[in-house]
Amino acid sequence: MNNFEEYCTKFVQSVGNKEGAISPVITGSAAFAYGDAQTAEGIFDGSVKKPLYSRMGNPTTARLESILAEMDGGVGAVATSSGMGATTLATMSLLSNGDEIISIGGLFGGTYSLFNETLKRFGITTHFFDVDELAEIKNAISDKTKIIFLESVGNPNMRLPNIKAIANIANEAGVALVVDNTITPLSISPLRLGADIVVYSTTKIISGNASALGGCAVFRAINDGDDKFKGERYSFLHKFIKGTKKMALIPNAKKRALRDFGMSANATASYQTLLGLETLPLRLPRIVQSVETIAKALDKAGLNINHPCLESHPHHERYKSDFSNGCGTLLTIDMGSTQAAYKFINSTKLATITANIGDSRTLALHMASTIYSDFDAATRKFLGITDGLIRISIGLENPQDIIADFINAAK
Ligand SMILES: *Cc1c(COP(=O)(O)O)cnc(C)c1O
């Protein structure tokens, strides 16, 4: 668990102030006064580093962005109003009409409908693959491919990608790799494995208590020498690379997405997210350990559990080698039928019934009748949504209490 220990000091020290108010200050202002005309000009051309307008950036949000950028080894980050805002920002800043996305694993319901329905309306085509279809993925890359999109852990199918192998494919082909790391902050560092952009829903384990909706995209630096973003595929980036060098992905995202779509974070949510972030390195290892204890105990008790810590899981070896800091807070239980799933959900006393994940409290939800109720049978099958599937997000409760409650609910 060294990954977590490393951040205990870093997070509490960077969130709190050493002088005056210890808790971060919430800058509630939407607009900022420039003082004089020359300063206004400088702020707009980027030569003066002062706040322009809160849609384009806010001091409280900037604090959160700098910590998340550092956490992931990025050159910078852009916080957003939600996790979907971060995915929209990252993708819409790289895509034009006629482009293609290759989407691997997962997939979170909102991301699936963004790709398969909404972006389709704007002339963007997405090809979907399972995490292990590496040859098919390679084959699907064309001149029109601008993004390979990957979830670090399949939600809710619990399949684990070989992130390094997929990053190698993306880098060889010169295509941007965007990783949704919502489920595994600190546990997995996608930029260090070769990805270009990481997106988060900070609503989940980063805040940890359902107090604030939020998201963030973290960007890698553009290399001094060769870089895939200097190629023809990304010619729209070249002016930013010329002007802002290694930072180029950030002004591109701010101008092409944040300014025009307006999925900006608000200062109060950024403040609440900072408070959550402070204790992330303590909460996550505790939960990851509980998830293993609970998955193994429920499996032993005869429940149909899907989690890669179990030897029967097809990615058990990958879990041990590549996910040594765990794979987040989720596990699923397949009760076999809708009726049995409803009975379980209505009998558990500890789990809160909700669509959220990564909370301090244990959460449960029947998948087919809620998040995936809009999807046809073939799509549900692709995403691993069976009739009896319940997604569980384990919280900070005593794992033995959760085991006892779940065994009782399954009777
Ligand atoms: C929740 C979630 C999102 C979307 O985040 P919101 O903050 O709800 O917009 C995206 N990806 C994953 C994996 C999620 O769990």
Helical (H) or strand (E) element with 216? strand 215-219
What spacing in Å lies between the alpha carbon of 149 and ligand 1's midpoint?
14
Q: Is the CB of 180 under 6 A from ligand 1?
A: yes
Residue 77 in domain: yes
Q: Is the CB of 155 under 6 A from ligand 1?
A: yes
What spacing in Å lies between the alpha carbon of 396 and ligand 1's midpoint?
20
Asked whether residue 33 falls in the same domain as residue 154, the answer is yes
Nearest CA to ligand 1 atom 7: 83
What spacing in Å lies between the alpha carbon of 201 and ligand 1's midpoint?
5
What spacing in Å lies between the alpha carbon of 195 and ligand 1's midpoint?
19
Cis, bond preceding 68 (omega within 30 deg of 0): no
Q: How confident is the model at residue 404 (pLDDT cuts 50, 70, 90)?
A: very high
Tell which phi-psi region holds residue 105, choosing left (phi > 0), alpha (psi between -120 and 50) or beta. Answer: left
Res. 128: pLDDT tops 70: yes
Nearest CA to ligand 1 atom 2: 201
What spacing in Å lies between the alpha carbon of 225 and ligand 1's midpoint?
35
Final residue in a domain of this structure, among 268, 290, 323: 268
Tell me how far apart the alpha carbons of residues 94 and 257 are, in angstroms, rounded to a whole number. Answer: 9
Cis, bond preceding 156 (omega within 30 deg of 0): yes
Asked whether residue 192 falls in the same domain as residue 57, the answer is yes
Q: Is the CB of 110 under 6 A from ligand 1?
A: yes
Residue 302 in domain: yes
Tally the domains of the chain.
2
What spacing in Å lies between the alpha carbon of 320 and ligand 1's midpoint?
26
Residue 274 in domain: no
Type of residue numbered 69 = A
Q: Give the pLDDT confidence score for residue 2 in this predicted structure.
A: 60
Asked whether residue 194 falls in the same domain as residue 107, the answer is yes
> What is the pLDDT averaged over residues 345-362?
97
Cα–Cα nearest to 200, from 161, 155, 151 = 151
Residue 134 in domain: yes
What spacing in Å lies between the alpha carbon of 204 and ligand 1's midpoint?
7
Which two tokens mark 178?
């965007």
Asked whether residue 239 falls in the same domain as residue 302, the answer is no
69: helix, strand or coil: helix
Tens of pLDDT, residues 176-221:
999 999 999 999 999 999 999 999 999 999 999 999 999 999 999 9
Tell me how far apart the alpha carbons of residues 193 and 177 are, in angstroms, rounded to a whole number. Answer: 11
Cα–Cα nearest to 362, from 404, 308, 322, 321 = 404
Tens of pLDDT, residues 74-120:
999 999 999 999 999 999 999 999 999 999 987 888 999 999 999 99
What spacing in Å lies between the alpha carbon of 310 and ligand 1's midpoint?
26
Q: Is the CB of 54 under 6 A from ligand 1?
A: no
Final residue in a domain of this structure, among 268, 301, 324: 268
201: helix, strand or coil: strand
Tens of pLDDT, residues 285-319:
999 999 999 999 999 999 999 999 999 999 999 99
Asked whether residue 262 falls in the same domain as residue 289, the answer is no
Tens of pLDDT, residues 157-170:
999 999 999 999 99
Q: How confident is the model at residue 375 (pLDDT cuts 50, 70, 90)?
A: confident
Residue 289 in domain: yes
Q: Give the pLDDT confidence score for residue 124 in this predicted structure.
A: 98
Domain interval for residue 252:
3-268
Res. 1: pLDDT tops 70: no
Ligand 1 pocket test target in 103, 201, 327, 391 with most atoms within 8 Å of CB: 201
Tell me how far apart the alpha carbons of residues 170 and 177 are, in angstroms, rounded to a whole number. Answer: 6
Identify the CATH number of the domain in which residue 295 sits. 3.90.1150.10
Task: List strands edge to edge, sheet with 352-353.
Answer: 305-306, 330-334, 389-393, 363-366, 352-353
Q: Is the CB of 294 under 6 A from ligand 1?
A: no
Asked whether residue 264 falls in the same domain as residue 291, the answer is no
Final residue in a domain of this structure, among 218, 233, 268: 268
First to last CA, the chain: 35
Res. 261: pLDDT tops 90: yes
Tens of pLDDT, residues 39-54:
999 999 889 999 999 9
- Give the long-range contacts of residues 205-208, CB within 8 A, separation 24 or more: 205/280, 205/283, 205/284, 205/287, 205/328, 205/329, 205/357, 205/358, 206/273, 206/276, 206/277, 206/280, 206/358, 207/272, 207/273, 207/276, 207/277, 208/276, 208/279, 208/280, 208/283, 208/358, 208/359, 208/360
Residue 126 in domain: yes
Nearest CA to ligand 1 atom 11: 108
Mean pLDDT of the chain: 96
Q: Is the CB of 108 under 6 A from ligand 1?
A: yes
Tell me how far apart the alpha carbons of residues 216 and 200 are, in angstroms, rounded to a whole number. Answer: 5
Res. 6: pLDDT tops 90: no
Ligand 1 atom closest to residue 202's alpha carbon, by position in its atom list: 7
